[in-house]
Amino acid sequence: MTPEQLKASILQYAVEGKLVKQNPNDEPASELLKKIKNEKAKLVKEGKINKERAVRPVKEEEKDGVLPTGWTYTRFQNISLFTTDYVANGSFKTLREHTHKYKEKNYALFVRTMDLSANFKSNLTYIDKDSYDFLSKSKLFGGELILPNIGGSIGKAFLMPNLNMPMSLAPNSIMVKFTEQVMNKYFSYFIQSPMGKSLLLNNKGGTATPKFSKTELRNMVLKLPPLEEQKRIVAKIEKLMPLVDEYAESYNRLQKIDNEFEDKLKQSVLQYAMEGKLVKQDPSDEPASELIKKIENEKAKLIKEGKIKKTKKLSAITDDEKPFDIPDSWEWVRLGEIGIVTSGGTPRKTEKSYWDDANIPWITPAVMSKAQNNIIFDNDNVGKINQKGLSNSSAQLISANSIVVSSRAPIGYINIVPFAYTTNQGCKSISTYAKVDNKYVYYAIKFSVPDMYKRASGTTFKEISGTRFGETVIPLPPLEEQKLIITKVEKLQSSIGELSK
């Protein structure tokens, strides 16, 4: 059970009368309603509040079961002294004309939902005295219950603090005042309960965005406990909530460990694989040094045939670049030695014509993020660019079965792409020579992502250049051992995935 579910269960038990025992000696809720009615009549007579239009009695079909002892069904209006909001002060036109807002401090604070959520810490809004006087029906003094009434904030409830300055309520919230201070707390918990939130959401009025009005709130049917039981419920909730917070801390720590477990275990498998500890070496395998010679011969042949360009020789790998020992039959190599590294690009001008009748897959880090559950790139939503767009960019067409790596925002998405494609500048690709298994190189790059981050540049966001990407150092086993490593890694990682589930 999540902390949110635990809190919801406690609040639901509370508003169903199951959190504390009923006391037959408590004055019943029906008597509380009479007292509230008398208090409202007194304040109306004194001119302190306006007389409200009576709400209809609760019908039998609006009741949903047997009530706990001493409880009664009623409508929200009957339990509150008054319920009001910003728009009670006039039409939208007059409100625009008479409400003047300021970001610098002024006469009164204009209280928004975001201010209540942030505990009034920053970015406050103020109104002048004329605006404050005009908004007479939504002045705040502290102690009111504030209910956001639109969108995802429905179900939240705030007790308004006294901030020792004039205050007025902004739009998108409703203010409620009760005769008893404990009712503020009880009904703040009621609104946050699954029952309370469900009642509010049922009043969304047929619009796409959930919203309820003060009229709909006033007509809402609820179960009212005796006042003394409300006090016991509030005391019990306030005793339990710190325990829920402690549970949340422990739960979140365990979730973090659980979420990291699969990734860390898979990375450990790759570590063993890259160190040559995952499968046994076969002394009859042709060593990687011979494999490198074959790669060099293949590269020379392709250069001679004009299929690839001759590139600058990469620097020798230093001992400092070798993070661990590898078997004698292996060799350390740079990515640029075992494949052709290609950087992406974007058309010089953003023209619609570059994307019309397009058939060349256009891979970006955003698209790659949706394809990370598989080694092989299989995202059906990949964009397309046409030959005109490709010709007007620094991007190149990359051969099928190449490896694409996101090189910024973020670094580290990796896929093998089974078709010819091109990319934007946020990606780098490597097309491995025939003498290397590209799936092994995929795992080697995946293992090397933390090293790439270290060697990336940039302040706003990190990026690894094509040159730096090509300089990435990986361990290279004999070709036959590469195949065994791939089989073992995939078997273990599949088992880890099942274990995590």
**pLDDT at residue 64, as a whole number:** 85
Query: What does the alpha-carbon distance between residue 232 and residue 253 come to, in Å, rounded to a whole number?
Result: 32
Residue 284's SS3 state is coil
Residue 453 pLDDT > 70, yes or no?
yes
- Give residue-wise pLDDT tens across range 469-480: 999 999 999 999
Region 426-438: mean pLDDT is 93
Query: Are 220 and 176 contacting, i.e. CB atoms less than 8 angstroms apart?
Result: no
Strand 158-159 to strand 383-385: parallel, antiparallel, or no bridges (unpaired)? unpaired
Residue 459 pLDDT > 90, yes or no?
no
Query: Are 338 and 432 contacting, i.e. CB atoms less than 8 angstroms apart?
Result: yes
Region 268-282: mean pLDDT is 95
**pLDDT at residue 501, as a whole number:** 66
Write down the pTM of the prediction: 0.64
- Give residue-wise pLDDT tens across range 317-356: 999 999 999 999 999 999 999 999 999 988 866 678 888 8
Q: Closest Cα partner for 271 from 330, 335, 323, 339?
A: 323
Q: What is the DSSP letter of 88?
A: G
* Residue 204 pLDDT level (bands cut at 50, 70, 90): low
Residue 28 pLDDT > 90, yes or no?
yes
**pLDDT at residue 468, as a whole number:** 93
Region 3-26: mean pLDDT is 96
DSSP 169-218: E-SSEEEEE-SSHHHHHHHHHHHHSHHHHHHHHTTSTT-SS-B--HHHHH
Query: Are 179 and 198 contacting, i.e. CB atoms less than 8 angstroms apart?
Result: no
**pLDDT at residue 203, as a whole number:** 62
Residue 116 pLDDT > 70, yes or no?
yes
Residue 126 pLDDT > 80, yes or no?
yes
Strand 167-169 to strand 108-111: parallel, antiparallel, or no bridges (unpaired)? parallel
Query: What does the alpha-carbon distance between residue 317 and residue 337 come to, in Å, rounded to a whole number?
Result: 11
Average pLDDT taken over every residue of the chain: 92
Q: Closest Cα partner for 364 from 399, 396, 404, 416?
A: 404
Element (H, E) at 470: helix 466-470
- Give residue-wise pLDDT tens across range 382-399: 889 999 989 888 889 999
Query: What does the alpha-carbon distance between residue 178 and residue 145 come to, in Å, rounded to a whole number?
Result: 8
**pLDDT at residue 263, as a whole number:** 84
Residue 128 pLDDT > 60, yes or no?
yes
Residue 207 pLDDT > 70, yes or no?
no
Residue 192 pLDDT > 80, yes or no?
yes
- Give residue-wise pLDDT tens across range 346-374: 886 667 888 888 899 999 999 998 888 78
